[in-house]
Amino acid sequence: MAVPVAYYLALSAVLFVMGALGVLVRRNAIVVFMSLELMFNAANLAFVAFARYYLQLDGQIIVFFVMTVAAAEVAVGLALMVAIFRARHSIDVDQMSILKG
Amino acid sequence: MLSETLANGNWNLAFLVLFFPLAGLLFNLIAGKWLGEKVIGAVASLATGLSFVMALLMGTWLMQGGGEAVTVPLFDWFRAGSLHLGWTLRIDTLSVMMMLVVTGVGTLIHIYAIGYMHDDVRHQGDPGRFQRFFVFLNLFIFAMLILVSADSYLMMFVGWEGVGLCSYLLIGFWYEKGAEGTGNAKAAKKAFIVNRIGDFGLLLALFLLFGAFGTLNFDPIFKNAALASPAIILAATLLMLLGVAGKSAQLPLFVWLPDAMAGPTPVSALIHAATMVTAGVYLIARSAPLYELAPSAQLVATWLGAATALFAATIAIAQNDIKKVLAYSTISQLGFMVAAVGMGAMVAGLFHLVTHAFFKALLFLAAGSVIQGMERGLHEAAHHGGEYDEDVDPQDMRSMGGLRSRMGLTFWVYLIGALALAGIAPLAGFFSKDEILLDALHEQPGVFAVLLTAAFLTAFYMGRQVLLVFFGQPRSEAAAHATESPAVMTVPLVLLAAGSVLAGALNLPVEGLHWLTGWLEHSIAGAESLPFDWLVAVGSTLVALSGLAAAYFFYGKRQPLGRALADPLSSAGCWVYSAFQHKWWVDDIYRKWLVGPLRAMSEFLAATFDQQVIDGVPKLLGESVKDFAIWLSGLQNGLVRSYIMAVLGGLIFILAFLLFIMR
């Protein structure tokens, strides 16, 4: 028996808000990254849910793109973070503020 | 060939009269650096002398042509709408007379200045200014010739301002000297500013005339003057009088002329006695057709001149500076001239202008000779073991005395000048002053009485001056050691003295010998001279003689006036004498009631209004933009999470907007 689409969407919203909160409140860059991934996947869930609901493949295809981009982004982001950690011995995002006005 | 060109009224050459001084000044300006003093002086004198020759030539051409006025267009100045201004020379008997005075007396003063400035630049400690002096002097001659040869009020105004500029430059010639190191500069500034007040009036008069006639050329204005509204003519002539009062140092604007004595003495002689200050008289004479239509303006001019004549004469009797006495005397004599031309006695006024140019230039130059004699005496006395007496002012008559034996030639020419000024027959001043008095008796008996009193005072202060300077015993070491000036200075003195004796012959009060009247009637309609009147002639001579006698009574027998001793009149005249001595407190009144409030207002505008209001507005704008920017830069705090918060907030806002408001 099919689960109504609203449930998927609600779960997606909950995941998105949890991700956003994590990005906003955590100071460890790794955790911020993980929270970002959570937000991506919340969006992916919404795409997939709508694709199933409207019986179209577009949403599922977009999800592949999102996952690809996210993987690339993680690769670049983690490399950046390693470089920053080497230079500053910390990946606290609040300490990366030397460009303030 | 040359003689033919010159004999037959070749008016194309008329521009030469202006060209010579211009060429002289340019030559000295450019090449003067590499030339000696003698060459510079010779070039400048030659330039003025050639102008004089040119003026003489034009005089003969005029006579050949029956005295008819000639206009010589030089070139267009500008055209704007209906206004067409050209540089046109107006050569008539009046302008040629003025040119002859300016260049004739001017040439002699140039020659004198070669000797005078040679000493002066060394005494003042900057020989490099010798060249500058002659450049300015030629510039003055050039501007003055523009003034008198102009064919329109506007061109005349250019010359009018030009001579004012030269006056300023030459009063402040030693601009770093004088009281507190700024005295001369202040005197120059005062002359310039006071003249601006007069020029303001003249300019308004020109605007009125242009508004009424649509042109500023003399001929059309005078031709149509009778058709214009009398109110406009009256206003224009009265405003013109303000210009006259400024330039010719009449009440109430005379205060600049005594201070102008800060300039070198040849300047005092040329600009502030013989020529520039008579520009006002010339202006009235030139505008005679306008003044004839405005009897009230004539009346004002007459009384203005008469009052000035008396007023300045009273001040002159209590001055101790040899040049100050002559300065006030000049103001007084200009009063005579303005009164005369105001009464419509144009010839008498202009006659006095000519004779006055001779004897007042003579007196100033002789005074310059006395001053330099005193300066040489100072050095001589110091040389002979005495100390250089810093306290002795070489211009103070109280330190002089007995110079008759030390400076014989200067004494004799000074005496001639003084007697001519006092109006003793048969010297030049007698004839011209007599003619003014005669006209005054017929036109305005009240003015006659005032002028006669002024004539008495004239004789008195000149007698006093001659007695104090040349007679008695020397009252200082400087006076005891004074020496005569060199020939380059004394020869012009002798020539001017000859002029002071003979210039009366220009207009002898005998039927058929009224040459100046006959000469000027071509330029001034209705020029005439009244028949000789023995009563006035003998009366004025007696008045002059009694003035001299009074001077002898007070200053002749005793030896008063060492620098510590008071003037014998000061005890006799109590507060009246004090008023004379303090120039009737005019300067103090102006300072307190005009300059003071103006200065207070300027200070308020500069310190309060400008600093706080004018500067405050842009300052406030700038400050507020800066404050806003500082607040705005606080947003860029470097915290990534706060940026994300802002992005999220923005996103929520846009979504809410789209969901709830746009729907």
pLDDT 10s digits, B147-165: 999 988 989 999 999 999 9
Residue found by looking up tokens 């009256």 in the block: B234
CB atoms within 10 A of CB A13: 13
Contact between chains at B644 and A23 (C-beta distance less than 8 A): yes
* Cα three-residue angle B266-B267-B271, rounded to 5 degrees: 125
pLDDT digits (tens, 9 = 90+) for B8-58: 667 888 888 889 999 999 999 998 888 888 899 999 999 999 999 999 999
pLDDT digits (tens, 9 = 90+) for B452-499: 999 999 999 999 999 888 888 888 888 888 888 888 889 999 999 999
Instruction: Give the CATH number for residue A72.
Output: 1.10.287.3510
Whole-number Å distance between alpha carbons of B404 and B423: 22
- Taking the alpha carbons at both ends of chain B, their separation in whole angstroms is 107
CA dihedral A70, A71, A72, A78 (to 10 degrees): 100
Residues of A in contact with B644 (CB under 8 A): 23-24
Residues of A in contact with B634 (CB under 8 A): 101
Contact between chains at B639 and A101 (C-beta distance less than 8 A): no
CB atoms within 10 A of CB B298: 22
The strand pair at B70-80 and B83-91 is best described as: antiparallel
Contact between chains at A97 and B644 (C-beta distance less than 8 A): no
Q: CA separation (Å) from B569 to B468, B520, B578?
A: 14, 44, 10
* Residue A57 belongs to domain spanning: 5-90
Contact between chains at B639 and A98 (C-beta distance less than 8 A): no
Residue found by looking up tokens 């005032």 in the block: B450
Question: Is A98 part of any domain?
Answer: no
The answer, for B385 touching chain A at a CB cutoff of 8 Å, is no
Residue found by looking up tokens 């450049």 in the block: B135
Contact between chains at B639 and A100 (C-beta distance less than 8 A): yes
H or E stretch at B244: helix B230-247
Whole-number Å distance between alpha carbons of B535 and B322: 34
pLDDT of residue B1: 45
Residues of A in contact with B645 (CB under 8 A): 24
Closest alpha carbon to B257 in B341, B342, B194: B194
Question: Is A95 part of any domain?
Answer: no
> What are the residues facing B90 on neighbouring strands?
B71
Cβ–Cβ under 8 Å, residues B489 and B117: no
H or E stretch at B90: strand B83-91
Whole-number Å distance between alpha carbons of B465 and B471: 10
CB atoms within 10 A of CB B43: 21
Predicted ipTM? 0.84
pLDDT digits (tens, 9 = 90+) for B175-232: 888 888 888 899 999 999 999 999 999 999 999 999 888 888 888 898 888 888 889 9
> What are the residues facing B70 on neighbouring strands?
B91
pLDDT digits (tens, 9 = 90+) for B322-374: 999 999 999 999 999 999 999 888 888 999 999 999 999 999 999 999 999 98
Tell me the shortest Cα–Cα distance from A26 to chain B, in angstroms.
9
Residue of B nearest to A27 (CA): B641
Tokens of B541: 């001579």
In degrees and rounded to multiples of 5, residue A10 shows phi and psi of -60, -45
pLDDT of residue B80: 76
Q: Which residues of A touch B (CB under 8 A)?
A: 20, 23-25, 27, 93-94, 96-101
Whole-number Å distance between alpha carbons of B443 and B459: 24
Question: Is A97 part of any domain?
Answer: no
Cβ–Cβ under 8 Å, residues B434 and B509: yes
Whole-number Å distance between alpha carbons of B140 and B146: 10
Question: Is A100 part of any domain?
Answer: no
For residue B378, give every residue at least 6 positions away whose Cβ sits within 8 Å of its Cβ, in sequence order, or none: B388, B389, B392, B394, B477, B478, B481
Residue of B nearest to A28 (CA): B641
Residues of A in contact with B641 (CB under 8 A): 23-25, 27, 93-94
Whole-number Å distance between alpha carbons of B591 and B69: 46
Question: Is A54 part of any domain?
Answer: yes
Contact between chains at B637 and A97 (C-beta distance less than 8 A): yes
CB atoms within 10 A of CB B299: 15
Q: Amino acid identity, residue B441?
A: L
H or E stretch at B269: helix B265-269
By Cβ distance, the residue of A20, A93, A100 closest to B636 is A100
Contact between chains at A97 and B639 (C-beta distance less than 8 A): yes
Residue of A nearest to B637 (CA): A100
The total number of structural domains in chain A stands at 1
* Cα three-residue angle B578-B583-B585, rounded to 5 degrees: 85
Whole-number Å distance between alpha carbons of B593 and B43: 48
Q: Does the structure show a pLDDT above 90 at B378?
A: no
> What are the residues facing B87 on neighbouring strands?
B75
Q: Amino acid identity, residue B52?
A: F
Question: Is A32 part of any domain?
Answer: yes
Note the pTM of the prediction, 2 decimals. Answer: 0.80
Residue of B nearest to A99 (CA): B638
How many A/B residue pairs have CB atoms within 8 Å? Answer: 34
Closest alpha carbon to B495 in B349, B366, B352: B366
Question: Is A65 part of any domain?
Answer: yes
CB atoms within 10 A of CB B477: 20
Tokens of A53: 């609901």
Domain ranges of chain B: 366-573
Q: Does the structure show a pLDDT above 70 at A101?
A: no
Tokens of B46: 């030659």
Of the ranges B96-110, B161-175, B444-458, B566-580, which one carries the lowest mean pLDDT score?
A: B566-580
pLDDT of residue B451: 92
Cβ–Cβ under 8 Å, residues B134 and B31: no
Contact between chains at B641 and A99 (C-beta distance less than 8 A): no
Question: Is A52 part of any domain?
Answer: yes
Residues of A in contact with B652 (CB under 8 A): none
pLDDT digits (tens, 9 = 90+) for B508-567: 777 667 788 888 887 777 777 777 778 888 888 999 999 999 888 888 776 555 655 667
Tell me the shortest Cα–Cα distance from B192 to chain A, in angstroms.
58
Q: Amino acid identity, residue B363?
A: L
Q: In chain B, which among 594-653 make CB contacts under 8 A with chain A?
A: 633-641, 644-645, 648
Residue of B nearest to A100 (CA): B638
- Alpha-carbon dihedral sign for residues A24, A25, A27, A28: negative
Residues of A in contact with B635 (CB under 8 A): 101
Whole-number Å distance between alpha carbons of B491 and B482: 19
pLDDT digits (tens, 9 = 90+) for A73-82: 999 999 999 9
Cβ–Cβ under 8 Å, residues B192 and B199: no
Whole-number Å distance between alpha carbons of B454 and B312: 9
Helices (H) and strands (E) in chain B, counts: 29, 2
Q: How far is CA A53 from the centre of its chain?
A: 23
Contact between chains at B636 and A93 (C-beta distance less than 8 A): no
